Amino acid sequence: MADLRNTFAGISSLNPFWLASAPPTDKAYNVHRAFEAGWGGVVWKTLGEDGPPIVNVSGPRYGALLTPDRRMLGFNNIELITDRPLRTNLDEIRDVKRQWPDRALVVSLMVPCTESAWKAILPMVEDTGADGIELNFGCPHGMSERGMGSAVGQVPEYIEMVTAWCKQHGRLPVIVKLTPNISDIRQPAAAAKRGGADAVSLINTISSIMGVDPATLTMSPSTGGMGSHGGYCGPAVKPIALNMVAEIGRAPATAGLPISGIGGVGSWRDALDYIALGATNVQVCTAAMVYGFKIVQEMVDGLSDYMDSMGFKTTADFQGRALPTVTDWQYLNLNATSKAVIDQASCIQCGRCHIACEDTSHQAITAVKDGKRHFAVKDDECVGCNLCVTVCPVPDCITLRTLAPGEMDTRTGQPVRAEPLNWTAHPNNPSRAATA
Ligand SMILES: Cc1cc2nc3c(=O)[nH]c(=O)nc-3n(C[C@H](O)[C@H](O)[C@H](O)COP(=O)(O)O)c2cc1C
Ligand code: SF4
Ligand code: SF4
């Protein structure tokens, strides 16, 4: 039986499923309900410094990208950090932690970029008994205009400096939450490590505009007829986040730095992707907001069943296992050859594969045979691009077959070579390394 217990940045929890800092973790009422549902940990909604409360818009702060059948693909928000008094949050955090000693309770923080501001808030958080702090260097709207959030996260020197202050003046584990609104995620991750971070978490939200109302031609959603960019998250951002997680895991300067994977996690399968690419645990926001706290039960059961089926006792048994399979394009084996294969028994003859390949790929799928609709792959045209597989509405009706070494590729008229050949040594590469 799989053991889902997990330790991240020195913080232990029942399972690797945490709620990310966001509305689901904004108050004790929510967090109690989340823990009752089975979440292993939470990162409390970001606290700011003491003072006049944060003011949010009193109108649509959320927007969404939906499929035609109204399934959520992407989610956008212009919400700021907590708008509840600091003291109320601290008192609730203390109380919740006391009642749930076996769950992880990390507090997200965002205060002005001065040593005194960070030094002042750290002891207040420590006094609650919380397990760690997460530095919110990621929020891309509102707070960034005030010199916080992603305004800090986009400058590696600031990340290093603030992280070092938190290590120097505090005693709790420090998780640095990174913004994806940057061209090279390895830079801020390395800065966090230099500053002494115990771990990084990523991603926070991606700067975004959801669209325009066609009747009024105003940005939508709008606040009094005007809109401002928000932060994008949900299933649509997962591939972006996974790439960033893998980039950090692969880079020599940051390899081994513990990672909490965030972005589009809604099921155990999503969590598996993050963990296999090197994350120790995952955090969830949008899926909990859309489907409620009980989704964690599917996550726990699904991951546990998967681990049993694979013979994994703990998540450490597969953590990072997929990372060595991530490389740069130039190292891919250009001799590896695939062809699409259509299973005639399950084909419903909708024709989508034909039109996709005919109009935009390699004209490699027939539409008619003996005067009847018939969809079959022409091996002598197919380049194995995978487009037809992705557009076919019937699962597993089209698959890609890898040609065996020595097998004739009728497209090139050459047998498939057994030895790998990548771009660095390819004869067409004008700057290839000279070979003996
Ligand atoms: C409405 C909303 C409010 C958020 N507030 C915060 C916040 O206060 N602090 C923070 O670090 N991240 C905040 N986030 C970002 C999430 O913690 C998370 O990084 C992001 O939503 C990606 O995860 P997801 O795809 O599971 O939603 C917020 C996200 C949403 C949707
Ligand atoms: S794999 Fe690409 S080239 Fe081959 S049949 Fe499908 S769409 Fe056409
Ligand atoms: S898209 Fe799939 S189901 Fe439709 S014709 Fe092609 S193989 Fe058949």
For the Cβ of 296 lying below 6 angstroms from any atom of ligand 2, the answer is no
Per-residue model confidence (pLDDT) at position 148: 79
Active site residue 285: no
Residue closest via CA to ligand 1's atom 12 equals 21
From the list 113, 139, 385, 397, the catalytic residue is 139
CA–centroid distance, residue 349 to ligand 3 (Å): 5
Residue closest via CA to ligand 3's atom 4 equals 350
Q: Distance between CA atoms of 25 and 39, rounded to whole angstroms?
A: 11
Q: Distance between CA atoms of 83 and 56, rounded to whole angstroms?
A: 7
For the Cβ of 74 lying below 6 angstroms from any atom of ligand 1, the answer is no
User: Of the ligands numbered here, which is closest to the C-alpha atom of 398?
Assistant: 3
Per-residue model confidence (pLDDT) at position 299: 98
* Residues lower than pLDDT 70 in the chain: 433-436
Please provide residue 326's backbone torsions phi and psi, each rounded to the nearest 5 degrees. -95, 130
CA–centroid distance, residue 351 to ligand 2 (Å): 13
CA–centroid distance, residue 167 to ligand 1 (Å): 24
**Ligand 1 atom nearest to CA at 21:** 17
Residue closest via CA to ligand 3's atom 8 equals 347
The full 3-state SS of 128-152, as one line of letters, equals CCCCEEEEECCCCCCCHHHCCCHHH
208, HSE (Cβ side, Cα atoms, 13 Å) = 24
Residue closest via CA to ligand 3's atom 1 equals 392
User: C-alpha angle with apex 184: 182 to 185, nearest 5 degrees?
Assistant: 80
User: Of the ligands numbered here, which is closest to the C-alpha atom of 153?
Assistant: 1
For the Cβ of 386 lying below 6 angstroms from any atom of ligand 2, the answer is yes
Per-residue model confidence (pLDDT) at position 435: 52
Mutate to test the pocket of ligand 1, among 61, 141, 204, 238 (most ligand atoms within 8 A of CB): 204
Per-residue model confidence (pLDDT) at position 436: 42
At 338 the three-state DSSP class reads: strand
At 66 the three-state DSSP class reads: strand
Per-residue model confidence (pLDDT) at position 150: 80
CA–centroid distance, residue 393 to ligand 3 (Å): 7
Q: Distance between CA atoms of 396 and 44, rounded to whole angstroms?
A: 42
Q: Which residues contact 223 (CB under 8 A, 6 or more apart)?
A: 57, 59, 60, 78
Q: Distance between CA atoms of 417 and 406, rounded to whole angstroms?
A: 6
Instruction: Note whether 96 and 103 are within 8 A (CB).
Output: no
Instruction: Note whether 283 and 201 are within 8 A (CB).
Output: yes
CA–centroid distance, residue 376 to ligand 3 (Å): 9
pLDDT tens digits, 13-69: 999 999 999 999 999 999 999 999 999 999 999 999 988 888 888 989 999 999 999
**40: which 2 tokens?**
């292993």
Q: Distance between CA atoms of 376 and 69, rounded to whole angstroms?
A: 31
pTM: predicted TM-score of the whole model, two decimal places: 0.96
DSSP string for residues in 206-236: EEE--EEETTTTEEES-BTTB---EEEESGG
